[in-house]
């Protein structure tokens, strides 16, 4: 029994290592250019060993997406479903999004890279991952407009998500490419907190929520 448990534990750890390595490869190279041989090399195992855990590259890719964005969905759904005003819940979800991307930069790079793909299979995989987030956002948008909690600048939730999510994805995944070496660490706690404050300010303005900074501006 102990030997079987040990083998099972090793298999779980190997699977985790494969997912982590594949996530970095897909984020850096994209789906087409990522080779299972390279993923295996990064983990220190053979290509056949990778295939033992994931039967082909598409299955591995889907598992990487499920792992990355499944965790994000849990992180955002929790604050949205808890007690409190809708404005507080939305702001908590935005904070969770920034925190998650800041601690999972490979997920941000993966989302940004694959969003540009013209491959219909890749686009379908990304849309499958995006649907629960968009559905959740639409539900909260409807609640906000019906209750009067929101007075959005634009009633289209896609406008909101492209502005708010897009700014964080660019900040985490693309900014270093545009400016080169930075004098500070983008993902350190202080810089992420500064970015989070700006994203929350944008959120309040887009949705017509009166928040601490918005109130201060009105009295300035």
CA distance 179 to 106: 19
Report, as an integer, the average pLDDT of 208-217: 52
Q: Which two tokens stand for residue 41?
A: 């090399």
Percent above pLDDT 90 for the chain: 55
pLDDT at 42: 97
pLDDT at 170: 94
Indicate whether 42 and 124 sit together in one domain. no
Q: Which two tokens stand for residue 56?
A: 């082909």
CA distance 159 to 152: 10
Indicate whether 64 and 120 sit together in one domain. yes
Indicate whether 31 and 77 sit together in one domain. no
Indicate whether 37 and 72 sit together in one domain. no
pLDDT at 217: 41
Mean pLDDT of the chain: 88
Residue 161 has pLDDT above 60, yes or no: yes
Indicate whether 36 and 88 sit together in one domain. no
Indicate whether 140 and 171 sit together in one domain. yes
Split at pLDDT 50, 70, 90, the class of 5 is: low
Q: Which of 13, 28, 55 is the last residue of a domain?
A: 55
Split at pLDDT 50, 70, 90, the class of 144 is: confident
Question: In terms of DSSP H, where are the helices of 54-188?
Answer: 57-81, 86-103, 105-114, 120-147, 157-169, 175-179
Q: What is the pLDDT of residues 11-33, one digit of tens each?
A: 899 999 999 999 999 999 999 99
Structural domain including 7 reads 1-55
| pTM (2 d.p.) | 0.84
Domain total of the chain: 2
Q: Which of 55, 70, 90 is the last residue of a domain?
A: 55
pLDDT at 1: 53
Residue 132 has pLDDT above 80, yes or no: yes
Split at pLDDT 50, 70, 90, the class of 98 is: very high
Cα four-point dihedral sign 48, 50, 8, 14? positive
- Provide the residue count of the chain: 220
Indicate whether 92 and 129 sit together in one domain. yes
pLDDT at 2: 62
Nearest to 214 by CA among 152, 167, 149, 205: 205
Query: What residues have CB less than 8 Å from 200, skipping those under 6 apart?
Result: 91, 94, 95, 211, 213
């Amino acid at each position: 029994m102990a030997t079987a448990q040990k083998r099972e534990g090793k298999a779980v750890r190997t699977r985790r290592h494969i997912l982590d390595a594949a996530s970095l490869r897909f984020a850096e190279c994209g789906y087409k250019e990522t080779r299972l041989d390279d993923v295996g090399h990064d983990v220190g195992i053979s290509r056949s060993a990778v295939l033992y855990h994931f039967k082909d590259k598409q299955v591995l890719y889907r598992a990487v997406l499920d792992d990355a964005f499944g965790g994000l969905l849990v992180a955002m759904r929790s604050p949205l479903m808890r007690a409190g005003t809708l404005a507080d819940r939305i702001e908590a979800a935005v904070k969770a999004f920034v925190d998650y991307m800041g601690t999972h930069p490979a997920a941000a790079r993966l989302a940004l890279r694959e969003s540009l793909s013209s491959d219909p299979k890749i686009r379908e995989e990304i849309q499958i991952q995006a649907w629960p987030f968009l559905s959740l956002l639409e539900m909260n948008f409807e609640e906000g407009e019906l209750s009067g909690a929101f007075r959005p600048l634009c009633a289209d939730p896609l406008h909101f998500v492209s502005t708010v999510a897009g700014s964080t994805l660019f900040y985490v995944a693309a900014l270093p490419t545009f400016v080169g070496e930075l004098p500070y660490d983008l993902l350190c706690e202080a810089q992420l907190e500064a970015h989070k404050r700006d994203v929350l300010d944008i959120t309040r303005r887009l949705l017509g929520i009166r928040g601490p900074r918005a109130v201060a501006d009105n009295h300035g």
